[in-house]
Structure 1
């Protein structure tokens, strides 16, 4: 593996080997060689091979023959960032469903819904989405907790036997713990959204009762 720190892409291109003539005439059968550039701390690294410790870094890729940038790869998200992205995506879905619900209820509340049961069914889609999110997050938390307990028990057994905990085993424990923390955050966020939906449903029902001039439906 070659790594050249703080070198320009042009310099790498000039130093890159030229394909044999028969490969150039073969109609592009040989796969174009790539050059990679990424940041490592405050240093800019460019190399014709990507080391293992840079695989998760954001990087730019260049065609070694033409010197043109051929692609860009974003850095790998952490478990916490993936959890935040999942919550954000779920929130967008719920916001879109909420807007549709508000439009339907405000425009047709009096003329369409004969009783509270009809009105409650408007919220069934959002309720189903959130209930599923909460159940999935709860399952994931339980699974990750069990896996972490198993890893910790195995590490404890090694220590009791006078053996050191292997680095790979310690890394697995840290990874499972980070995933568990992220899933717990997701679970808490989904549960909060579910409680907020219950409040919205009750406020909508109160609005409906006011417009209808009726009391709460004891059968609802």
Structure 2
């Protein structure tokens, strides 16, 4: 074999050997880096080992590198079914709250963009207040008329009984029907009064938010005076 060929073959052989040695060292380093010591609590005592037994798979543990002796990880214990359910409910609650907060921000932004002045805001609430006040008047009048009509029927029925007469079934049915309707209208009136009070509270809250949003940076919003929207009363 010519001298030049022998040199070429030797160079190739040395290169291959160096490459193989490099790969082997890399693999060994990689394997060594992956080896860990696991430490967990078992029966109130700390236990460590290079393998994690099945009964400790759900336990909280610390992972330590065998190469550096340094902690490389911390794994929390697995949650119980009850804890997972509670965590899911908490996440759902937080998500709903975040959605509500975002909606409130959009509402406040729309309020500021819709009303140039506080007077405009109060005027808009005033229209709703007047409408609700008119509804309350009509409902109150209706309840009063029903009560008077029912009292008149009861008086007629009482007079018949005092005279020894039989109260007609039609009258009894009318009395019962008007009594039920009176109860229903009274419940409606109570609900409407609650809506009216809630509208006043909503106005004060809206005014406070409006002033806070309109205040220049660094300024404090003007305190709410408690003035309500115009009423038809």
Question: Which range, TM-score by smaller chain?
Answer: 0.3 to 0.5
Greater helix share, structure number = 2
